[in-house]
Amino acid sequence: MTSTAGVPPVSTDDTTAAKPRGRKLTGYWLILPGAVWLLLFFVIPFYSLVASSLFDPKGSVLTGYEMTWHVGNYVDAFNQYKGQLGRSLLYAGLATLTCLVVGYVLAYAIAFKAGRWKNLMLVLVIAPFFTSFLLRTLSWKLILADDGWVVGVAQAIHLTDVLNIIGLTTTDDRLLATPFAVIAGLTYNFLPFMVLPLYASLEKVDIRLIEAAGDLYASPMRGFFKVTFPLSLPGVVAGTLLTFIPAAGDYVNAQLLGSTNTKMIGNSIQSLFTTQGDYATAGALSVILMVIIVAAVMAYVRTAGTEELV
């Protein structure tokens, strides 16, 4: 920051003309690091991604890639992978929903009921981040293993039967390599991203407003739905976005905890890029996923109308 704009103006005649200009430039100087970052790590890669999505689909790592503006890549990619696309949105949606229910209860408990344990509980929410994402997901592989006690307990209480009926598992004697395992993994891994924004907005809810709702004939349950929940909506919106967006593009959970029948779009893109060398289809799929998510998020935020909430 070489500008002198932060210094109060001194009325010496030779500098008065330069001052306003210097002040005007400060803003630009301040956004420069961010702008450079975005240019280097978003705009250029994005350009490259869109460009490769229009390559001639016949190209390969050996023969090289040719830019032929082949828009047909998008149609082919969508048709070929719409199953995985749909599954990604479904799994991410279900994981987000589960995170919301579990996370809301947890955040509510931390914000209103934890008392002096509040800080400890917050630390515990973040604690998993001290271990690698990959390692934690691999551990779930052990936990859900076919001969593990979790499967045994789930069978004993007939949870496996229920999951089988609603289609989250395929057989009634295993949990690993099923949609259930993938969704559970996603839920587990993204739960903190749901809990923290929810906690932040619940914590701001004035207890006196809840008392006022009770005073005005609202039972605790109705008070919650009429006052507490609406006031926590900014946290709900932030939490669902922070969970859904990365979950929709995730491939680690599906790869480690799922099977070939639970492949998500992230797995397809990853294998197209790294093993098959089909940059054109991989690029097109990435752009499609991005467009779907951006459109969904915009529609969601508009419906939730959070800009009205303070």
Which residue in 179, 196, 201 sits closest to 128, CA to CA?
196
Q: Are 245 and 297 in contact (CB under 8 A)?
A: yes
Q: Minimal distance in Å, beta carbon 301 to other proteins? A: 17
Nearer to other proteins, 52 or 232 (CB): 232
Site string for other proteins, 271-310 (x = CB under 8 A): -------------------------------------xxx
DSSP state at residue 111: I
At 275, list the tokens: 């093993």
Site string for other proteins, 179-218 (x = CB under 8 A): ---------------------------x-xx-xxxxxxxx
The CB density around residue 78, as the number of other CB atoms within 10 Å, is: 13
Strand partners, 55: 67
Q: Minimal distance in Å, beta carbon 205 to other proteins? A: 10
Task: Using alpha carbons only, give the angle 192, 196, 197 rounded to the nearest 5 degrees.
Answer: 125
- Residue 167 within binding range of other proteins, rule CB under 8 A: no
Nearer to other proteins, 214 or 277 (CB): 214
Residue type, 126: I
Nearer to other proteins, 153 or 207 (CB): 207
- Chain-centroid distance of CA 280 in Å reads 25
Which parts of 211-250 interact with other proteins (CB under 8 A)?
211-219, 222-223, 226-227, 230-231
| Percentages of the chain per state (helix, strand, coil), in multiples of 5 | 75, 0, 20
Residues contributing to the site for other proteins (CB under 8 A): 206, 208-209, 211-219, 222-223, 226-227, 230-231, 308-310
